Amino acid sequence: MAVSSSTRVLLVGAGAQLAGALIERLTPACTLIPRTRPQLDVTSARAVDEAVAEVAPDVVVNCASFNDVDGAERDPVTALRVNGLAVGHLADACRRSGAVLVHYSTDFVFDPVVDPGMLREDDPLSPGSIYAQSKLLGEVLARRAPRHYVLRVASLFGGRRGHSSLDRIASALDGGAPVKAFANRTVTPSYVVDLAEALVATLDRAVPYGLYHCVNTGRTTWVDVATALARALGRNPAELVVPTPFDPAMFPARRPTYAALSNAAIAAHGVVLPGWEDAIMRFARARARADDA
């Protein structure tokens, strides 16, 4: 589906950090209809049906999510309703209307015991927390829409809310404050600007429907991310970045130690995401521009 000004895109969960980048990228490219939580609660099947009937979208993009990983252990019902059942409501509405569903999932559906290298879409799943289990339920229910993209993303940064781990590290480094960063937790960070570009490319190129890993290219650790960010911000990482060992037992909810996603499958369809270091550089430049403005 080539994205054009006549393409109608309903964006739900439009207050999300990722949604901000999508709104910026999609607004000039298509007819975007954003709905925040007060405008559309996705846990209501009826509200979802009414919104899809009213908007008549070609594409529904779901950014609504209960992302409080530790909070989900205390409130599993809300996590399962928002991250799981609500995706079923959206998928059913898309099935009936013929719209494409774009749904975002997470690297937390994996939790391998030993380092498996880069994880592919069909590698064994082991969601180790309520949050991860609720997101996996969402992946399954998204398939009720015959035309769906489930895009697994990881460690988002650069969103308008500025509340991600990486945004917080950037703020601390900006202020010259030392930051602790896990030395042994493997990740594939995802710059929201690059995810927005990847979504447009996925639709434009009519990538076959299905499940894809959609993250910046390459794998890293939080120490290496913080080090690259410090350099990009003109700070001395040796002074400010404090490597810390990661132990899954240190949080109420389990987090994977090794969760580096391979984006080779989506790249094979021409959706090539920039490397994570390049993304960090652009993120640092964008922060500097925003500070100057």
Ligand X SMILES: NC(=O)c1ccc[n+]([C@@H]2O[C@H](COP(=O)([O-])OP(=O)(O)OC[C@H]3O[C@@H](n4cnc5c(N)ncnc54)[C@H](OP(=O)(O)O)[C@@H]3O)[C@@H](O)[C@H]2O)c1
Residue 129 or 235: which CB sits closer to ligand X?
A: 129
Tell me if residue 209 is catalytic. no
Pick 3 or 153: Cβ nearer ligand X:
153
Structure tokens belonging to residue 162: 């500025």
H or E element that contains 20? helix 17-26
* Residue nearer to ligand X on the CB measure, 11 or 223: 11
Burial of 16 (0-12, 13-18, 19+ CB in 10 A): buried
3-class secondary structure, 122: coil
Distances in whole angstroms, Cα of residue 235 to Cα of each of 177, 179, 239, 284: 10, 12, 8, 11
Is 93 within 8 Å of 50 (Cβ atoms)?
A: no
Positions that interact with ligand X (CB under 6 A): 12-13, 15-18, 37, 41-43, 63-67, 82, 104, 106, 135, 153-156, 159, 161, 164
Nearer to ligand X, 67 or 220 (CB): 67
Write phi, then psi, for 65 (nearest 5 degrees): -165, 150
The nearest distance, CB 208 to ligand X, in angstroms, is: 21
Give the residue at shortest CB distance from ligand X.
Answer: 15
Determine the straight-line distance between the first and last CA of the chain, rounded to whole angstroms: 37
* 221 vs 235 by CB, closer to ligand X: 221
CB of 255 to ligand X, least distance (A): 11
**Shortest distance, CB of residue 238 to ligand X, whole angstroms?**
27
User: What is the C-alpha radius of gyration for the chain, rounded to an integer number of angstroms?
Assistant: 19
Positive or negative: CA dihedral 17, 18, 19, 24: positive
Among residues 104, 131, 149, 212, which one is catalytic?
A: 131
In the bound complex, what is the minimum distance in angstroms from residue 262's beta carbon to ligand X? 16
Tell the smallest beta-carbon distance from residue 220 to ligand X (Å): 15
Enzyme catalytic residues = 131
